[in-house]
């Protein structure tokens, strides 16, 4: 398996050079293998979507390099980025973002329109995808005529239109009840297993995250934890609700899991930009093959912290 997403030391600042400059990502390094199903978890405002936007080349990092499927994205111009989004990436949003007044089939055809696919192929492919997401009978329905879950399935079909290597889903079940969320999640599993799509999923649900291959925890713009998913799926249900949400604890958890230790450049950035708490946090890059059961127990505590934080919002 080859690496399809390779982020190195990605820093993202908003309002750069202005008084209200904000550093949201503090030097993220992350690799995702082809065909991997990765979940990103973390409290709201921690920079998950910002990271996702980098991965989806919707935005450019302030510094750091990003190699997507062997292409150094930093060298690409806007038009090339559009092409990369069109060909390599399928986006799924929390708010579905279907184009209104445009029926399900036409929505699915959109990425193919932008890639210049001919009409017959477009229609054929859109119908196939509608079948894939079990929405075959809703081709001519407008978004406003569909339920949330149905909209999300159309959106997933649309993300698949140009057969992209990567599906990026930013809280795709966030606006759905747990039952329809389940259906949508099953669909992602199906795409991952049957269509071999690399999937990066942002979720607030620990249950859903735990079903993936790897769970990446983000806090305040840093990766604070990476662990394997499926192995902890059952243990997750038993975790105590102990509140260990202070930074010392987090730091310990993270330290226990360190395989490759910190990034010095990153620390320098942090000292100037961030408060004391964040300085203590560490950016980690973990080879997930080395995680074991004992470490997982501690990580679960961290997961539950995240869950508590999210519930509070």
Partner 1 sequence: MLLWENIVLAINSLLSNKMRALLTMLGIIIGIGSVIAIITVGDSLTLSVSENMQSMGANDVYVMVQRKSEEEEESNIDGVKFGSFNSSEGMTEDDYLTEDMIKEMCNKFKDDIYAVNLQYSAGQSQIEFGKNTANVNVSGVTAGYFITNEISLVSGRMFSGEEFSEGKNAIIVSDKLVNKLFDGDNRKALGSILEVNVNNQVSAYSIIGIYEYQQKYAMGMALGSGDNVTTDLYMPLKAALSLTHSKNAYPYAQIITKVGVNSDELAERIKNFYAPYYRNNRVAEVNAITMSSMVTMLTDMLSTITLAISIVAGIALVVGGIGVMNIMLVSITERTREIGTRKALGAKNSSIRTQFIVEAMIICLIGGIFGVILGVGGGIIASHLLGYPAKPSVSGIFISLLFSMSIGVFFGYYPANKAAKMNPIDALRYE
Ligand X SMILES: Nc1ncnc2c1ncn2[C@@H]1O[C@H](COP(=O)(O)OP(=O)(O)O)[C@@H](O)[C@H]1O
Give the HSE-up count for residue 58: Cα atoms under 13 Å, Cβ half-sphere. Answer: 10
SS (H, E, C) 210-263: HCCCEEEEEECCEEEEEEECHHHHHHHCCCCCCCCCCHHHHHHHHHHHCCECCC
Q: What gap in Å lies between CA 9 and CA 12, rounded to an integer?
A: 10
Continuous segment of H or E residues that includes residue 224 = strand 222-228
Task: For tokens 């407008």, name the residue.
Answer: 142
Q: Which of 9, 29, 46, 300 binds ligand X (CB under 6 A)?
A: 46
CB of 58 to partner 1, least distance (A): 5
Site for partner 1 contains 22 (CB under 8 A): no
Q: How far is the CB of 195 from partner 1 (least distance, A)?
A: 18
State the minimum distance, in angstroms, from the CB of residue 102 to ligand X. 26
* Cα separations in angstroms, 237 against 16, 122, 213: 43, 44, 17
Binding letters toward ligand X, positions 224-263, x by CB under 6 A: ----------------------------------------
Pattern 23-62, binding to Mg ion, x per CB under 5 A? --------------------------x-------------
Token output for 129: 């995808």
For residue 67, the partner it binds in partner 1, Mg ion, ligand X, none, with Cβ less than 5 to 8 A by kind, is none
CA distance 10 to 284: 13
- Exactly one of 27, 47, 61, 90 binds ligand X (CB under 6 A); which one? 47
* C-beta of residue 71 within 8 angstroms of C-beta of residue 12: no
Q: What is the per-residue binding string for partner 1 in 146-185, x denoting contact by CB under 8 A?
A: ------------x---x-----------------------
Please report how close the Cβ of residue 51 comes to Mg ion at its closest, in angstroms: 9
**Residues between 36 and 55 that touch partner 1 (CB under 8 A):** 53
**Of 45-53, 136-144, 173-181, 238-246: span binding ligand X (CB under 6 A):** 45-53
Cβ(57)–Cβ(81) below 8 Å: yes
- CA dist 97 and 86 (Å) reads 16
Nearer to Mg ion by Cβ, of 111 and 172: the residue is 172
Which pair of tokens denotes residue 29?
């390094």
Per CB under 6 A, the list member of 49, 103, 210, 263 interacting with ligand X is 49
Q: Which residues contact 65 (CB under 8 A, 6 or more apart)?
A: 7, 8, 9, 10, 72, 74
Radius of gyration of the chain (CA): 20
Strand order in the sheet with 22-33: 22-33, 3-14, 63-68, 71-72
Using rule CB under 6 A, residue 45 touches ligand X? yes
- The footprint of partner 1 on residues 85-104 (CB under 8 A) is 85-87, 91, 93, 97, 99-102
Phi, psi of 176, rounded to the nearest 5 degrees: -115, 155
Considering the complex, what minimum distance in angstroms separates the CB of residue 40 from Mg ion?
10
Q: Which residue is nearest to Mg ion (CB)?
A: 49
Positions touching partner 1 (CB under 8 A) are 53, 56, 58-59, 78-79, 82-83, 85-87, 91, 93, 97, 99-102, 110-111, 113-115, 158, 162
């Amino acid at each position: 398996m080859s690496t399809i997403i390779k982020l190195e030391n990605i820093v993202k600042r908003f309002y750069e050079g202005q008084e209200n400059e904000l550093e949201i990502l503090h030097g993220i390094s992350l690799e995702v293998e082809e065909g991997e199903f990765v979940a990103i978890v973390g409290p709201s405002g921690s920079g998950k979507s910002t990271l996702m936007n980098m991965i989806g080349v919707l935005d450019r990092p302030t510094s750091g390099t990003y190699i997507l499927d062997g292409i150094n994205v930093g060298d690409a111009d806007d038009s090339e980025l559009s092409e990369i989004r069109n060909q390599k990436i399928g986006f799924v949003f929390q708010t579905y973002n279907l184009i209104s007044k445009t029926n399900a089939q036409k929505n699915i055809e959109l990425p193919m329109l932008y890639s210049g696919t001919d009409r017959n192929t477009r229609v054929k492919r859109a119908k196939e995808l509608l079948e894939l997401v079990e929405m075959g009978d809703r081709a001519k329905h407008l978004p406003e005529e569909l339920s949330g879950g149905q909209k999300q399935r159309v959106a997933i079909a649309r993300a698949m239109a140009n057969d992209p290597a990567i599906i990026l889903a930013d809280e795709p079940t966030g606006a759905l009840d747990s039952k329809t969320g389940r259906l949508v999640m099953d669909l992602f599993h199906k795409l991952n297993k049957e269509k071999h799509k690399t999937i990066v999923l942002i979720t607030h649900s620990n249950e859903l995250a735990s079903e993936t291959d790897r769970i990446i925890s983000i806090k305040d713009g840093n990766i604070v934890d990476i662990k394997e998913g499926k192995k902890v799926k059952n243990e997750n249900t038993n975790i105590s609700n102990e509140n260990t949400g202070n930074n010392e604890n987090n730091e310990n958890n993270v330290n226990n899991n360190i395989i490759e230790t910190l990034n010095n450049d990153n620390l320098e950035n942090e000292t100037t930009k961030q408060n004391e708490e964040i300085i203590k946090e560490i950016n980690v890059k973990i080879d997930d093959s080395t995680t074991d059961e004992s470490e997982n127990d501690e990580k679960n505590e961290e997961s539950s912290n995240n869950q508590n934080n999210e519930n509070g919002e």
